[in-house]
Amino acid sequence: MDTEPVHSLFNRRDFLKIAGLGVGAGLIGFPTSCNRAVVKTITPNIQGFSETDAEDNGIPWVPKSDRKVRVGLIGYGVCKFSAAFGFQNHPNVEVVAVSDLIPERCAELARVTGCNKTYPSLEELVKDDSIEAVFIATDAPSHARHVIEALNHGKHVACAVPAVLGSLEDADRLYEAVKRSGLKYMMFETSMYRSNLYAMRTLYEAGCLGEILYAEGEYWHYSKDGIDSFNNWRHGLPEQWYPTHSDAYYVGVTNGSFLEVSCLGIPSKMERYLHNQYNNPFATEISLYRTSGGGIARMGRSSDTQGSGYGSETGRVRGTKGSYYDKYVGIEQELPDLRRPTLPPGVKGGGHGGSHGRLTDEFISAILEDRKPLVDVAMALNMTVGGIVAHESAMRDGEWLKIPQYKYWG
């Protein structure tokens, strides 16, 4: 399958020249330390972003270490993710520096996170030897390139979804870079800590569900006019190139993968799907997968079907022993504890069903405990590349296509 890496369509330096922003070396004249801040981050009214308080699950939080991981935050676009995941409030984190290409955004990110050290670009920030780890929330077409750049400078990396955008070549490059680095990489897939998926994964790992014969995931995200984005990368984006919120309802439950796919797309009448840089006509794409566990899965993505209630970001699995939604029918063993992990003091669950703070805590805990994080590079790519191949299938009127496989080496 010939898929041009999308990052070739975008050039951050050209953007800087056009905007007259310039990229200088060094800092923007601030002190070199950052202070912990408890500041509510205001994000646009985007589906899934409503914050969820950290529920009291009755389990006390136990610190894993008294050490603080020195973190750099990169990217403060329309979703404001660098502040939204609560790194600045985690007791085991010191936010050392922040960065955004647009000076006004960079300054705002510094303010809301209580940080006084800023850099004008990711490329400058990752040269800072005082930084151990970074969270990358830049434009999706640049994710793979930016992660690899940070890894090459010795940083542990957490990154917003998707792992790569539209490029199987980028997927291979990212996988090899993480493996070669020996550093931690984690994709911040928000469905992983939604209460329903967390319970499904816990039940599956305890053997309560048996073999998963069927799974389905849904990410319906209606957007009349689209969402603003750097270099307009979201405009007309193929739906299945952003598949992780739905695909997690198989890959994230079982740590399995999709082997092959047939996908159908429905042409949209929305303007951004009539003319776009991707030559993509589809705002709805529905995939049927064969899974590595011997079952099948249906995964749906849509931006032109109205409504954001039931099924906006959700899914379900059915196993030989029962289903989470059937009140565990057929499960004869004692149930495991289905409560989500306790959050550190000061860290909120946050958006996407209370997932934000838990993803941050998992990444920081993996560094402190020197272990593989939950959404490692193999799981991240297995959640991502199926959608890349699915869109190609849709463009071929549903032709069955094989999907690359990734396995963790540890």
* Number of domains the chain is built from: 2
Give tens-digit pLDDT for 321-344. 988 877 666 677 788 999 999 999
What residues contact 220, with CB distance under 8 A and at least 6 apart?
300, 301, 302, 305, 307, 308, 311, 312, 313
Give tens-digit pLDDT for 52-90. 544 667 889 999 999 999 999 999 988 898 999 999 999
Domain end: 189, 216, 248, which one? Answer: 189
Are 77 and 97 within one domain? yes
Are 152 and 237 within one domain? no
Domain end: 151, 174, 189, which one? Answer: 189
Q: Is residue 358 assigned to a domain?
A: no
Q: Is residue 230 assigned to a domain?
A: yes
Are 229 and 165 within one domain? no
Are 267 and 381 within one domain? yes
Are 245 and 146 within one domain? no
Domain end: 150, 167, 189, which one? Answer: 189
Q: Hunting for tokens 């209460």 — which residue is that? A: 195
Cβ atoms 286, 256 nearer than 8 A: no
Are 149 and 223 within one domain? no
What residues contact 267, with CB distance under 8 A and at least 6 apart?
273, 281, 282
Give tens-digit pLDDT for 24-60. 233 333 333 343 343 333 344 555 555 554 466 788 9
If pLDDT is split at 50, 70 and 90, which confidence band does 21 have?
very low
Q: Is residue 352 assigned to a domain?
A: no
Host domain of residue 324:
191-333+377-402
φ, ψ (nearest 5 deg) of residue 302: -155, 145
If pLDDT is split at 50, 70 and 90, which confidence band does 310 have?
low
Cβ atoms 203, 323 nearer than 8 A: no
Are 179 and 315 within one domain? no
Are 117 and 266 within one domain? no
If pLDDT is split at 50, 70 and 90, which confidence band does 396 have?
very high
φ, ψ (nearest 5 deg) of residue 72: -110, 140
Cβ atoms 372, 193 nearer than 8 A: no
CATH number for the domain harbouring residue 88? 3.40.50.720
Give tens-digit pLDDT for 111-128. 999 999 999 999 999 999
Are 128 and 276 within one domain? no
Residue 78: predicted pLDDT: 83
Cβ atoms 282, 239 nearer than 8 A: yes
How many CB atoms lie under 10 A from the CB of residue 378?
Answer: 22
Are 45 and 176 within one domain? yes
Instruction: Determine the residue type at 242.
Output: Y
Cα 322 to Cα 262, 315, 385: the distances in Å are: 27, 15, 29
The CA distance from 292 to 297, in Å, is 10
Q: Is residue 343 assigned to a domain?
A: no
Strands 118-119, 93-99: parallel, antiparallel or unpaired by DSSP? parallel
Are 241 and 150 within one domain? no
Residue 304: predicted pLDDT: 93
Are 185 and 200 within one domain? no
Pick from 313, 302, 311: which is nearest to 352 by CA? 313
Residue 162: is the preceding peptide bond cis (ω within 30°)?
Answer: yes
